[in-house]
Amino acid sequence: EIWSAAARRTMGDHEATLSECVRLLSSESRERKFMGMVLVTKLVHGLDQDALVAVAEADGFARFLTSMLRATAVVNTAQDGSSDGEGDLDDGLLDAMDAKPRDGETKETKAEQVTASHALALAVCATLARSPRVAADPSFQERLPLFAAAMRRT
């Protein structure tokens, strides 16, 4: 009976953590979305198929993830003055990853920030791809060229 109570408590903690993760990913705040993404990578072994689908379907998360995967191309092309025509990126993400360094930042610092966020986005994608339902979703498959481009840049 002690073990079953511990198992129920662990299951409840896991459900609460998953709920918090989806809440963070659905947030309007870019920082909260990042926190949710880190949490997804930490929960990877405890997430079942339904949980992975719930994470993938969090409000606004797919757009944010896509903008993170595209952010490197914007930063790389902006440094050399060219434009790739990517006008549909998340404004908040562009503010954070703008090619123009802020006070005290260098282009190298910006590049490191973009690389780190790219790596996080790819880690989340790898986690989500463990679910055949998520991996087979057309919107996930449409991102395959972005995954490949991100891997080349990371």
pLDDT tens track for 19-38:
899 999 999 999 999 999 99
Decide if 14 contacts 46 (C-beta within 8 A): yes
Instruction: Note the pTM of the prediction, 2 decimals.
Output: 0.69
One-letter amino acid identity for 11? M
Question: Could you tell me which of 103, 46, 110, 45 has the C-alpha nearest to residue 74?
Answer: 110
Q: Which of 41, 43, 56 is nearest to 15 (CA)?
A: 43
Residue 89 near residue 65 (C-beta atoms within 8 A): no
User: How far lies 86's CA from each of 33, 66, 74, 96, 131, in Å?
Assistant: 21, 12, 7, 16, 30
pLDDT tens digits, one per residue of 51-85: 999 999 999 999 999 988 887 534 344 444 444 44
User: Does the structure show a pLDDT above 60 at 147?
Assistant: yes
